[in-house]
Amino acid sequence: MKWMIASDIHGSELYLRKLLETYNREKADRLLLLGDLLYHGPRNDLPEGYQPKKVIELLNSMKEEILCVRGNCEAEVDQMVLEFPVMAEYAILTAGRRMIFATHGHVFNERNLPPLHKGDILLHGHTHVPKCTEHEDYIYMNPGSVSIPKENSHHGYMIMEGLDFTWKDLEGNVKSEKHFE
């Protein structure tokens, strides 16, 4: 199965449209969203194309293809307008024998690990910086941010196909790749 993994849309219709165009070009089977869908949050400036109501429409139109976890900017009112679950703290996926613990990153992160076995993957957004760090006991991955990239990173996402992980910008250009056994 081919997953597109993205985080931190923060209400930007402009960048969500670019992401969804890329989703179609990638021919991904599912879209995993790692939170912070509608609201920009008090620490961020408004992203370009800030239109949360349009973001709601776009996401609801493809609700059958979305798996989502709650970000620190999600609230109960967001669940009232979105037609797919958005309030789970985490989701569990697998890649070969590895467990992938997908979360936003504000609760579980490199400083507060969830229960992981050696070689498992902690996948989260929240920092707005794409990353892959192989620690002694686990692997940390972050797709970066769709709408508000930080630390001179790109507007981007990840693709996961089996044990192959690829970080790309919204034009589909490969920025980094990693393969695990």
Confidence check: pLDDT of 181 > 90: no
In a domain, 161, yes or no: yes
Number of domains in the chain: 1
The amino acid at residue 166 is: T
In a domain, 86, yes or no: yes
95 compared with 20, residue with greater pLDDT = 20
CA angle 114, 118, 123 (to 5 degrees): 45
Which tens digits make up the pLDDT trace of 115-128?
Answer: 999 999 999 999 99
In a domain, 39, yes or no: yes
Confidence check: pLDDT of 158 > 90: yes
Give the pTM. 0.97
> What pLDDT, on a 0 to 100 scale, did the predictor assign at position 154?
97
In a domain, 123, yes or no: no
Give burial (CB, 10 Å; 0-12/13-18/19+) of 72: middle
Confidence check: pLDDT of 164 > 90: yes
Determine the structural domain holding residue 33 and report its residue range: 2-90+143-179
> What pLDDT, on a 0 to 100 scale, did the predictor assign at position 44?
84
d(CA 61, CA 152): 32
Confidence check: pLDDT of 41 > 90: no
Which tens digits make up the pLDDT trace of 22-38?
Answer: 999 999 999 999 999 99
In a domain, 99, yes or no: no
CATH code (residue 81): 3.60.21.10
What average pLDDT does range 13-28 have in this prediction?
98
In a domain, 95, yes or no: no
Average pLDDT of every residue of the chain: 96
> What pLDDT, on a 0 to 100 scale, did the predictor assign at position 43?
85
In a domain, 122, yes or no: no
In a domain, 114, yes or no: no
